[in-house]
Amino acid sequence: MITAPGPLDGTPLDRSFFDRPVLDVAPDLLGRVLVRETDDGPIALRLTEVEAYAGPADPGSHAYRGRTARNAVMFGPPGYVYVYFTYGMWHCMNLVCGPPGTASAVLLRAGEITEGAELARKRRGTSRRDSDLAQGPARLATALGVDRALNGADACPPRPEPFRMLTGAPADPDTVRNGPRTGVGGEGAAHPWRFWIDGDPTVSPYRAHVPRRRR
């Protein structure tokens, strides 16, 4: 059952919100609103599904084996955007958490487009309904026009561009669920660090990790 969100709070989130353990930040992001400013106008997204990645302590994290050119933003200050390219075709967006050096981040898995749906529809021309526009991390990044050029962008800037995180209407804790992360295998497979709003139609389907077959 979906619980209707309360009145939207348009106050920007302070950087201190992200300067906490990733397992505290991740579920607390549900119901918050991410605004992406573009040349064509703003797109607003209410977050409904996220995943936590705990840096060098987490075998599922890009930072598990240390700092690289690809993941360097994760080792910086909180509140910044980490964008990675995957499968040679998709981008995914994360928000860095914790103090510099911890390399933890929250993957934005899904959300509801609450403003700028026309812009999102143009980017996501294959979507059959609006609930599909940002249903999954690659779709979310595509709908918002996010690519590697935005890697390292500040989500808590003094100026409201290209991103700003708003207080929004935090999800009712009674509606928040958690379970294994999608597609994560190995030692990190059992971590129940995927969080979502129960019953929300924008939440993506869970898919367990499928090992690649050697040829």
Is residue 205 included in any domain, yes or no? no
> Which residue range(s) make up the domain with 92?
12-185
Residue 168 belongs to domain with CATH number: 3.10.300.10
Is residue 7 included in any domain, yes or no? no
* Residue 109 near residue 137 (C-beta atoms within 8 A): yes
Is residue 207 included in any domain, yes or no? no
CA atoms within 13 A on the CB side of 41: 9
pLDDT (0 to 100) of residue 3: 44
Beta bridge partners of 47: 111
- What are 131-180's pLDDT values in tens digits? 999 999 999 999 999 999 999 999 998 877 899 999 989 999 999 999 99
Question: Please, which pLDDT band fits residue 8 given cuts at 50, 70 and 90?
Answer: low
Query: How far from each other are the two terminal CA atoms of the chain, in whole angstroms?
Result: 45
Mean per-residue pLDDT for 110-114? 97
Distance between CA atoms of residues 75 and 72, nearest Å: 6
Mean pLDDT, the chain, rounded, equals 92
Phi, psi of 95 (to 5 degrees): -115, 125
**In total, how many domains does the chain have?**
1
